[in-house]
Amino acid sequence: IVDANYRFLYVNVGCQGRISDGGVFKNTSFYNKLEKNELNLPENEPLPGRTLSLPYILVADDAFPLTEHIMKPYKTDLNKGSPKRVYNYRLSRARRIIENTFGLLSSVFRVFRKPIEIKVEDTIVNIVLACVYLHNFLRVQPDSRQFYSTSGCFDSYDSCTGEIISGSWREITSGDTGLMPLRSIPRRPATTATNVREEFMQYFMSEIGSVPFQDIYM
């Protein structure tokens, strides 16, 4: 789990790769506490200009289940400019922070640029966690942050068109094989989860929740 400042908040290491990422997440203590409302999250509240109170959420991709607290995209092949496609676009902008965090991590700590060939599981876990701790330390400290994550290392957006300007980490890690694609398992979401996603979609289409370039880019 990553925050808006490209820092890791929660990391689970050591599960077998054949298990889907959503399956791994559902077996963590964090997920169990999230579902039981034991994480001391802020109270539900409506989005600006709306009346329906919503829970605070995590942004995820299709590999994860849609729940009341986890928002994922609608299925692809949506009509250009449709509310669902706009929702997917807005969600992808937020989700790109997660992708950029892993991209920076693997571009600097090059042990992630190919499969780690170590048989002792505890050693692999320690290597991964050490890199994550160092990443967070370098991002938190003002003196090191400007050297660790230099200008242009993260993806950015053209303010007029909304088009993506690729970060420098993408060129550095091009062709790497260390970080594998996420695996997903189809699931039927609960009604509450679909209602939360629907409310976000309606908000992104409203006057107060839309952004000027979303119709142009979509």
DSSP annotation string for 103-131 = HHHHHHSGGGGS----S-HHHHHHHHHHH
Of residues 148, 166, 150, 185, the one with CA closest to residue 96: 166
Tokens in use for 133?
């701790």
Confidence (pLDDT) at 47: 96
pLDDT confidence of residue 1: 93
User: Which regions in the chain score pLDDT beneath 50?
Assistant: 182
The pTM of this model reads 0.79
pLDDT of 203 reads 97
Look at residue 189 in the predicted model and tell me its pLDDT. Answer: 55
- Tokens 């300007």 — which residue? 165
Which pLDDT score, from 0 to 100, does residue 191 have? 64
Task: Say what the pLDDT of residue 4 is.
Answer: 92
pLDDT at res. 168? 79
